[in-house]
Amino acid sequence: MGPEILFVKYAFPCAFILRERGEITKGELFKLEDAALHEKILPRPFLEKIFFRAFRRIQVLAMEMGKDKWDYDVIRAYFVTRHNEIILEGMETYARAPDSLKELCMVHESKIQSIRGDVLVVKYGKKTRPVMGTMIPSPKVGEKVTIHYGYAIERLR
């Protein structure tokens, strides 16, 4: 999986918020969803324009890591670590965000408890929550996946 696909998988659940604000069109939202669910590569400038706030922070992280902002490890470190730190510290918009919103915006490592069609019921900490499992090919109970908002994003090994 290339960095563009990794990025769009982690980022697209947030795109519903951008749509609600009118920052992106229905067509753009569909394009992001289609790319995330079917592993299609979107042009980097397109992603950088839509998710300019994320890329402002990814640029900083890339400099700290001494790597390019489109390096796979940088994108992954952003979503699995840096993004959560920003939310927990209540920086930028998150200063005003209620706890239930922060919880969904954070990326969690979770364990699959049961599978109901396309939906995975996952557990992290003391919490159990359903997420769409459409981005995880042939999921199995007991496997670990990262989750973001209402989606399972990546299988962990």
Question: For binding to other proteins (CB under 8 A), which residues are involved?
Answer: 13-14, 16-21, 26, 29, 53, 92-94, 96-101, 103-104, 116, 118-119, 121, 128-132, 134, 149-151
Residue 108 CB-density burial (10 A; 0-12 exposed, 13-18 middle, 19+ buried): buried
Chain mean position to CA 48: 15
| All residues at 6 or more sequence positions from 40 whose CB lies less than 8 Å from its CB, including other chains | 5, 34
The residue among 6 and 36 lying less far from other proteins, judged by its C-beta, is: 36
User: Considering the complex, what minimum distance in angstroms separates the CB of residue 77 from other proteins?
Assistant: 19
| All residues at 6 or more sequence positions from 120 whose CB lies less than 8 Å from its CB, including other chains | 112, 114, 130, 131, 132, 133, 136, 139, 145, 152
The residue among 26 and 157 lying less far from other proteins, judged by its C-beta, is: 26
User: Considering the complex, what minimum distance in angstroms separates the CB of residue 123 from other proteins?
Assistant: 10
User: Considering the complex, what minimum distance in angstroms separates the CB of residue 63 from other proteins?
Assistant: 22
What is the 8-class DSSP label of residue 97?
Answer: -
Provide the strand spans (E) within 117-150. 119-124, 127-132, 144-148
User: Considering the complex, what minimum distance in angstroms separates the CB of residue 66 from other proteins?
Assistant: 27
User: Considering the complex, what minimum distance in angstroms separates the CB of residue 103 from other proteins?
Assistant: 8
In this structure, what token pair is assigned to residue 60?
Answer: 């900083």
